[in-house]
Chain A
């Protein structure tokens, strides 16, 4: 594939959510471009990722660390493991620029994470910057805005 259709982009977002829900994290890492950043701002509508704290602002080194840690023998906060569940609304395709190889989608989701007797719900908006590389759609950057980013949370252990 060199020029994805609107449906290809939308299917990609659904597939990614399913991958996360099924815990296929190593496969999920393969979706990323090497320079890709996963950003979850702390401030509502935050613009500065560097000099203001974020919840997550992670490069591929950090994302790989997260995934490997989830499988570690001494990962105490993952005994037992967390599970997650995305319910997503049909993504908007906001940018479709084949010439620049840049595609942007905007997706509303309800994200549920659970472990032991606790379960919580986050209402989120995910913004994916996508591109095509090696005939496949890849994630160039992903931004996840929590509706209640200013609320106090307990552990959020997986990746919405």
Chain B
């Protein structure tokens, strides 16, 4: 019998990444997953939610950062706090429902310890039972624990679990231009969440989903059955040339674009694992204009700036480690890791404040046509991921190839724009994966001192 292989540690896990390939254990091994949750998801800045999900004081929303249960809550001072969803007494989750309003304080449903909405301990019933016990000197006696750092960037809430580490600005850098473009598309410069997210369960590793966001060599293959059939049916329909195409066709047909289209659209990578497809154009470029919208934008920003904002048609922007946004249609997908082979995808859409509803209607249609558990496009994507998860069990070959348009000595610390079919963004993600397995220098502290 072969000896059991030793468990991975922070030091050995990084051997699983080579410049042009990654070991299959990064997708399948429970120890690797545990290390990702403890280190990678603690050192990185991770998306939590949107501030319009908690508009009023006391509003809260529960979610996860990696495998950590957290609460996003609007504190009495109007700021957003992110707290671990765990009572400091015996561990009971403080908030069980997905959203709600807790008023001025949280009250644990088990023994009624209560906490201000920034987590500070407010009161304990029958407090004299703790007199002289030293509770006030324990961590538990302080209240609910807050995460290391929180940043509200134009309505999008990100958090870093680690107390010290890279600052928000250093972590995201120039990649924030994609979020800016998404928000700037509102004449008021503001987004609002529109309804609940689609929730789609995948029996595969979270990184397969993130990698697929910039995988431009799969749509015309994996989605031929939906997009290709749509094009064929439409051709049979004798649609009058001058009549606008059905919205569904505008959305689904570009998935059948030829390789050349995707090669020319370009991929940009930024440091720390962020990147996007659609530098020059994208599958969102040719959507019909919505009456009245351009005029509203020109009024809000002036003609040049309005055209600049709307001229940017980035396709998918990956914010490492685990979200993707589509600026032109105001969609965000959160790839929530639940286990080495289990990932929950939540797909949100946002209303452009002060813009016509038709834009949101198109976004809602995109969301259900492409990213729903009932979506034909989603069906084939999920099939590919789950087949890959199963296929990786094959011992005949242990490495997964990410070599398309690879060049020796790639430097991910500088922004780059390349051929749109490169797998460079996947390599960029793995480069960041290795980096954030270890704590990063505390640029936050330095800023505070300035």
Contact = CB atoms under 8 A, between A and B. Distances in A.
Contacts of B197: 53
A77 B382 contact: yes
Contacts of B147: none
A40 interface: yes
B357 interface: yes
Contact of B349 (A53, A59, A62): A53
Contact of A53 (B226, B233, B249, B364): B364
A53 B368 contact: yes
Given A50-B357, A53-B372, A74 B200 contact: no
Interface string A51-74: 111111101011011101100101
Secondary structure dominating the interface of B: helix
Given A52-B195, A61-B233, A76-B222, A154 B201 contact: yes
A48 B196 CA distance: 12
Contact of A65 (B229, B357, B378): B229
A64 B372 CA distance: 18
B29 interface: no
B294 interface: no
Contacts of B195: 42-43, 46, 48, 51-53
B199 A153 contact: yes
A43 B372 contact: no
Interface string B173-217: 000000000000000000000111111111100000000000000
B400 interface: no
B101 to A, nearest CB: 19
A156 interface: yes
Interface residues of A, number: 35
Interface string A135-154: 00000000000000011111
Secondary structure dominating the interface of A: loop
A153 B373 contact: yes
Given A64-B233, A69-B226, A52 B378 contact: no
Interface residues of B, number: 46
B246 interface: yes
Nearest to A66: B376
Interface in A21-59: 40, 42-43, 46, 48, 50-57, 59
Contacts of B202: 154
A75 interface: yes
Interface string B354-373: 00010011001101110011
A108 interface: no
B374 A69 contact: no
A19 B349 CA distance: 35
A107 interface: no
A77 B349 contact: no
Contacts of B237: 61
A57 to B, nearest CB: 6
The 4 A-B residue pairs with the shortest CB-CB distance in the complex, in nearest-first order: A52-B195, A152-B199, A153-B373, A75-B225
17 contacts: A42-B195, A43-B196, A52-B194, A53-B349, A56-B374, A61-B234, A61-B249, A65-B229, A65-B376, A68-B232, A72-B225, A77-B382, A153-B200, A153-B201, A154-B202, A155-B378, A155-B379
